[in-house]
């Protein structure tokens, strides 16, 4: 079921920046939707519009099928956790978490029980009387999440919640958040500019570039079936060959390539392939979609060996899983295979 629907949502700021441009997106119930995109692409603006902190220029926001644009922030039932989590500094952990429940005029007994349960879930029992400045960054983050979750919001909005934490704590918080989200089933919009984080956290992932939605899908699809060239490139498919297509064949400056499992193309196209999808083929196992070049550089990165291969003026990047026997001397000739099902063609004009 779709809990929150964004329909043709646009936000134009007075200084002429179109921060969000015609965004249509469904936020399903009980799942995490990650909004991914580089700094300035409009992620926070989208969350603020859902929360009711700013108003869209045009378009609509529906909760359970009803427009909530006329409703003030406090009536919407969306709770936002900001990047710099904004705890009340003079309130204790317990009072911070209880704050929303008090605003909702819940009974003192219910408040005490809910706060204790939530602190237990967040592994914060024992810290009830501490003030935020007596807590570590990770603990403050958990208080901020506890404060948001305890009111059982209609939708939870998390804006880059873990970007201030070190790598270990971040992993821990990602896991805890996923676990809690599963348990409570609250539809969650999770904003990040970190691709790995988006993929780890998301049931549904939406890539936004310059205020425009590029693709919304399960995370795996961004690696296996990107919707367009910018999406493929954002997700690391950095080998681009321009050429001219006739059906499933494409003539490029370094040879002809065949495509598979794709609708036929015609005219100018860009071919794109991920570094790990290019394969070394010194034994001539494949007769088509192969090219020969020179090894320009060879870099070992722990788990992978990354090769740069020069074919005429074009440089292709290839990543193979590293084995001890892999030695690729610079300047040596190498023959590689670009599998037709891993080569994506996008019409360029």
Q: 315 with 241: CB under 8 angstroms?
A: no
Alpha-carbon span 118 to 297, nearest angstrom: 53
Alpha-carbon span 80 to 258, nearest angstrom: 48
Contacts to ligand ATP from residues 24-43, by CB under 6 A: 37, 39-43
- Give the interface with Mg ion as residue ranges (CB under 5 A): 44
Number of chain positions touching ligand ATP (CB under 6 A): 13
Give the E-state strand segments of the chain in sequence order.
2-12, 18-28, 32-36, 58-63, 66-67, 78-81, 155-159, 188-192, 204-209, 212-217, 239-247, 249-252, 255-258, 265-273, 279-280, 290-300, 304-311, 314-321, 333-337, 344-347
Q: How far is the CB of 88 from ligand ATP (least distance, A)?
A: 23
Kindly give, in sequence order, each residue whose CB lies less than 8 Å from that of residue 10, ignoring residues fewer than 6 positions away.
Answer: 18, 20, 21, 22, 23, 56, 57, 58, 59
Q: How far is the CB of 156 from Mg ion (least distance, A)?
A: 16
Concatenate the DSSP letters of all residues of 229-241 into one string: HHHHHHTT--EEE
19 touches which of ligand ATP, Mg ion, none (CB within 5 to 8 A by kind)? ligand ATP
Q: How far is the CB of 199 from ligand ATP (least distance, A)?
A: 17
Distance (Å) of CA 105 to CA 3, 98, 186, 235: 25, 11, 22, 47
Nearer Cβ to ligand ATP, position 39 or 323?
39
State yes or no: residue 13 binds ligand ATP (CB under 6 A).
yes
Q: How far is the CB of 192 from ligand ATP (least distance, A)?
A: 8
Q: 28 with 1: CB under 8 angstroms?
A: yes
Nearer Cβ to Mg ion, position 177 or 192?
192
* Per-residue b or e along 77-89, where b marks 16 or more CB atoms closer than 10 Å to that residue's CB: ebbbbeeebebee
Q: How far is the CB of 159 from ligand ATP (least distance, A)?
A: 7
Longest dimension (CA), the chain: 76
State yes or no: residue 84 binds ligand ATP (CB under 6 A).
no
Nearer Cβ to ligand ATP, position 36 or 273?
36
194 to 233: interface string for ligand ATP, x by CB under 6 A: ----------------------------------------
Task: Return contacts of 160-166, CB within 8 angstroms, 24+ apart.
Answer: 160/43, 160/83, 160/191, 160/192, 160/193, 161/81, 161/83, 161/85, 161/190, 162/197, 163/83, 163/192, 163/194, 164/83, 164/84, 164/137, 165/137, 165/138, 165/141
Q: How far is the CB of 177 from ligand ATP (least distance, A)?
A: 19
39 touches which of Mg ion, ligand ATP, none (CB within 5 to 8 A by kind)? ligand ATP
Q: How far is the CB of 22 from ligand ATP (least distance, A)?
A: 15
Nearer Cβ to ligand ATP, position 61 or 319?
61
Nearer Cβ to ligand ATP, position 14 or 126?
14
Q: How far is the CB of 43 from Mg ion (least distance, A)?
A: 5
108 touches which of ligand ATP, Mg ion, none (CB within 5 to 8 A by kind)? none
State yes or no: residue 21 binds ligand ATP (CB under 6 A).
no
Q: How far is the CB of 35 from Mg ion (least distance, A)?
A: 10
41 to 60: interface string for ligand ATP, x by CB under 6 A: xxxxx---------------
15 touches which of Mg ion, ligand ATP, none (CB within 5 to 8 A by kind)? ligand ATP
In which residue are the tokens 């300047």 written?
A: 331
Nearer Cβ to ligand ATP, position 18 or 204?
18
What does the binding site for ligand ATP look like in residue numbers (CB under 6 A)? 13, 15, 17, 19, 37, 39-45, 193
């Amino acid at each position: 079921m779709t809990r929150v629907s964004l329909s043709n949502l646009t936000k134009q700021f007075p200084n002429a920046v179109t921060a969000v441009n015609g965004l249509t997106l469904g936020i399903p119930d009980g799942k995490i939707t990650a909004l991914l995109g580089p700094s300035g692409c409009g992620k926070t603006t989208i969350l603020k519009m859902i929360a009711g902190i700013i108003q869209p220029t045009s378009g609509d926001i529906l909760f359970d099928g009803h427009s909530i644009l006329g409703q003030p922030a406090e009536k919407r039932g969306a709770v936002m956790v900001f990047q710099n989590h904004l705890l009340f500094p003079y309130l204790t952990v317990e009072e911070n978490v209880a704050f929303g429940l008090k605003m909702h005029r819940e009974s003192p007994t219910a408040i005490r029980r809910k706060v204790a349960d939530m602190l237990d879930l967040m592994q914060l029992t024992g810290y009830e009387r501490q003030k935020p400045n007596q807590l570590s960054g990770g603990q403050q983050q958990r208080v901020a999440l506890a404060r948001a979750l305890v009111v059982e919001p209609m939708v939870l909005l998390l804006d880059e919640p873990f970007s201030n934490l070190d790598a270990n704590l971040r992993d821990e918080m990602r896991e805890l958040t996923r676990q809690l989200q599963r348990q409570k089933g609250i539809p969650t919009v999770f904003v990040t500019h970190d691709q790995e984080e988006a993929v780890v956290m998301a049931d549904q992932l939406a890539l936004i570039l310059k205020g425009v939605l590029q693709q919304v899908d399960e995370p795996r699809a961004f690696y296996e079936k990107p919707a367009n060239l910018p999406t493929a490139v954002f997700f690391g498919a950095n080998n681009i060959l321009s050429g001219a297509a006739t059906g499933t064949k494409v003539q490029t400056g370094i040879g002809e390539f065949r495509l598979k499992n794709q609708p036929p193309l015609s005219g100018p196209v860009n071919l794109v392939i991920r570094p790990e999808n290019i394969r070394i083929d010194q034994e001539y196992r494949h007769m088509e979609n192969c090219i020969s070049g020179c090894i320009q550089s060879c870099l070992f990165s722990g788990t992978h060996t990354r090769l740069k291969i020069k074919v005429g003026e074009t440089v292709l990047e290839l990543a193979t899983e590293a084995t001890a026997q892999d030695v690729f001397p610079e300047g040596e000739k190498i023959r590689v295979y670009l599998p037709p099902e891993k080569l994506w063609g996008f019409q360029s004009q």
